[in-house]
Structure 1
């Protein structure tokens, strides 16, 4: 069972920031063999949705209010530690993120830039594909919306 916390950038402890950046790097840079600038200057404007298991960060997203990233609210950097994926924590962290968008930003309209191979996962959460696929950091992505 995940314990999920929502924090602003300023509320993150140094250790929490370190471990969430470590998780993002483990998955997005090392596991997916993708060289890109994960620390992009946007974390300070985001709300951070953090999934803890036994006090260790195993799932994470960041969310943005409308206009901060896309015209609509958005959820990004969706990540679950490789050794925890069998527990379906992706659904838990995404549902918490969708609820946080509603509770903190007073909207249910969300846009994401999803890795194309995860389209069905996001469909199961109510997101629908818009437009054609595109390359982002050499990985096929699709834009998806949830109303």
Structure 2
């Protein structure tokens, strides 16, 4: 398993930031021929997940931040998901960690992303569902995808535990309020 590094923007060294931006440029601009403004004022508020390869390059990265800078909505966004080395499982590890960061550090109720159409299956493996029609962004077909988070807070807010077990050691019967 690849060692993943998780840092808020303010914790990144200049070398780490440079290598993250270099990797994103190499994939999006050079490989995919996508001319766009990468520096979009979201990096400063993001938590960055990345890993190094043996050559000292960032082998893959992504960022997690509040969608539309709106903490109150509870929707985290994952973006700028790239890997230099394909077929090594790095992307899956990064995405899994990104979901973990959104759920555990940001306490997001929902996680949102915009996926290139060819990568729908990759994101679906981590529980994301398509929530839009295909749209074009920078000449590449994309879809919007979401994953609902139903962690402990959701569970305790939406289930009643007022029934007692009939016998000692028996699990309580639950009344599911939101079915």
Same fold flag (TM > 0.5): yes
> Residue 86 of structure 2: SS of its match in structure 1?
helix
User: Which structure ranks higher in relative contact order (CA pairs < 8 Å, sequence separation ≥ 6)?
Assistant: 1
Match of 2:63 in 1: 62
1 or 2, which has the higher strand percentage?
Answer: 1
Paired residue secondary structure (1:33): coil
Does 137-146 or 104-113 show the bigger shift? Answer: 104-113
* Bigger CA radius of gyration: 2
Gaps of 5+ in 1: none
Tell me which residue corresponds to 2:105: 104
Q: Mapping of 1:31-110 within 5 angstroms?
A: 31-54=31-54, 55-68=56-69, 71=73, 72-81=75-84, 84-110=85-111
Q: State the alpha-carbon separation in 2 of the partners of residues 75 and 56 from structure 1.
A: 21
Cα pair 1:3 1:53 within 8 Å, conserved: no
TM-score w.r.t. length of structure 1:
0.92
Instruction: Give the Cα separation in 2 of the matches to 1:85 and 1:110.
Output: 24
Deviations 1:107-132 (A, max 9, x none): 25101011011011111111100120
State the TM-score, normalizing by the size of structure 2: 0.76
Alignment RMSD, CA only?
1.6
Deviation at 1:57, TM superposition (A): 1.4
